[in-house]
Amino acid sequence: MQINTPFFKQRAHDALADANLQKALGNLKAGFPEKRAIAVSRMPEFEQLRDQGRDLKNHILEHLDLYLEEFERKVIENGGHVHWARTADDANRIILDICQQVDAKTVTKGKSMVTEEIGLNDFLEANGVQPVETDLGEYILQLRHDHPSHIIAPAIHLNLEDVSEAFHANHHRPKSSDPAVLMQEAREVLREKFVAADVGITGANFCVAETGSTIIVTNEGNGDLTQTLPKTHVVVTSIEKVVPTLEDMTLFLRLLARSATGQEFSVYNTLSSGPRREGDQDGPENFHVVLVDNGRSEMVGSEFQDMLRCIRCSACMNHCPVYGAVGGHSYGWVYPGPMGSVLTPQMIGIEKGGMLPNASTFCGKCESVCPVRIPLPKLMRHWREDEFEKHLQPKAARYGLAGWAFLAKRPALYKPYTRMASWMMKTWAGKNGRIKKLPLAGGWTDWRDMPAPQGKTFMQAWKEQQKAGGQQ
């Protein structure tokens, strides 16, 4: 996937002007946040579970090497194979080698953001292996040569008309605007792919050290078909997904579904524990797990370690006003929203990803809904500090901050300047108190009015409060 993160501002500008996208994003605002709130209200112990999830994740990260080694030992004991991939290139080569060992020409894929991260589809196609996405949203995007804009609802940026056009163009069947008809059409086409596939590739929501099992959490049956019908099943996941026991896994499952979609539990929670054994009715003959690092081990012990607690629920982006306004593609790479604003600079470098931690209002909503209490605003501030120290910010931003600092350190200048600026903004606003155009603030006023300052400046109000306090 091409990295377009440096062009965030232009992509966000285009997204705001895209009527179809804004229509699609309107469905997000009225969907996931409300459902999450209802699900959480029905669970009195939810806040306690968040604390437990945070503490358990911290414990895992402190002993990550031990749990990963135990997971590997159990997978091998179950008859499977574990492969360690330090980089995205390593992971792609390992997966291709597995496919070539069984002479695979077609592979089916369950939904996996890690395979998006490593660019697996393009790599397989370039080497003669055809990947077929089987998650409905991912399948629609593949037909459109598009990429996910959300980590659990990959095609949320599309409308029904877009899906109908994609199916008509690729399936050569009569065009329909009936969701039930389109769903049945997808089932019929994908069933042939499931049967023909030589290899099935899935992600994993969690890897259980106690049993050597991986689990996928879905609301479609495609994941089960992907990992049971082909002769070879390959799990592609990242190193921080390991949990100690099955009981620990269930704690995160209780948090995950409620935070993601507002469900008490997802429809399918499917465990895989190695290849088919004697007496099993189905399952693969070969079972492989590819554990991807790709910069994560560098986060352990750093100021960004808390980000490794993430369970990929999407609650942060579902509640983010920036994501809700510009959508996921504006972020320019795999991971959008607040979690992407922390992860992306780690994986592609702050030089390319520096726009993202600055694309935040710091309202704190992301942290308040995170099921494992990741302090996302604090982590974004760390990246801003890093960017500033490396002199990567635009000159206008650096000079603006320097000018503000100059005034703030000199109260004799700062006070009259803020009074004058407040008066000028009130004058521009007129009787309705709203500014339609403001120099140096076009990013705001191009899309909404700027409220004029009301009442006194902070320094004036503070001075009056101090005087009133002294008279009491």
> Does residue 398 lie in a domain region?
no
Residues 53 and 202 placed together within one structural domain of the fold: yes
Instruction: Find the domain containing 453 and state its range.
Output: 410-467
pLDDT class of 471 with cuts at 50, 70, 90: low
pLDDT digits (tens, 9 = 90+) for 57-79: 999 999 999 999 999 999 999 99
411 token code pair: 């109260």
> Does residue 103 lie in a domain region?
yes
Rg (CA), the chain: 25
Q: Tell me how far CA of residue 122 lies from CA of 1, 145, 167, 281, 418, in angstroms.
A: 8, 11, 22, 34, 54
177 token code pair: 């605007």
CB 256 within 8 A of CB 36: no
Which of 242, 267, 297 represents a domain boundary (last residue)?
Answer: 297
> Does residue 255 lie in a domain region?
yes
Which residues are 206's β-sheet partners?
215
Alpha-helix residue ranges (DSSP H) falling in 319-455 = 321-326, 337-348, 350-353, 365-369, 376-389, 395-408, 411-429, 442-445
Position 124 pLDDT exceeds 70 = yes
Residues 67 and 203 placed together within one structural domain of the fold: yes
Which of 260, 282, 297 represents a domain boundary (last residue)?
Answer: 297
pLDDT class of 470 with cuts at 50, 70, 90: low
Position 194 pLDDT exceeds 60 = yes
> Does residue 6 lie in a domain region?
no
**pTM for this prediction:** 0.90
| Total domains, the chain | 2
Question: Which of 107-116, 119-128, 370-379, 386-395 is predicted with the least confidence, judged by mean pLDDT?
Answer: 386-395
Residues 414 and 288 placed together within one structural domain of the fold: no
> Does residue 67 lie in a domain region?
yes
What are phi and psi for residue 349, nearest 5 degrees?
A: 100, 145
Task: Tell me which residue of 451, 444, 450 sits closest to 13, measured CA to CA.
Answer: 444
**Residue 424's pLDDT is what?**
86
Position 472 pLDDT exceeds 80 = no
**Residue 89's pLDDT is what?**
97
pLDDT digits (tens, 9 = 90+) for 225-254: 999 999 999 999 999 999 999 999 999 999
Which residues are 132's β-sheet partners?
108
pLDDT digits (tens, 9 = 90+) for 38-55: 999 999 999 999 999 999
- Helix 136-143 and helix 179-196: axis angle, to 10°? 90
> Does residue 455 lie in a domain region?
yes
Q: State how beta strands 268-272 and 213-218 pair.
A: antiparallel
**Residue 149's pLDDT is what?**
96
Question: Which of 57-71, 99-113, 263-277, 455-469 is predicted with the least confidence, judged by mean pLDDT?
Answer: 455-469
pLDDT class of 390 with cuts at 50, 70, 90: very high
Residue written as tokens 């790709």? 294
> Does residue 17 lie in a domain region?
no
> Does residue 86 lie in a domain region?
yes
Q: What is the CATH number of the domain that holds 240?
A: 3.40.50.10420
Residues 56 and 205 placed together within one structural domain of the fold: yes
**Residue 188's pLDDT is what?**
95
**Residue 43's pLDDT is what?**
96
Tally of CB atoms within 10 A around 17: 11
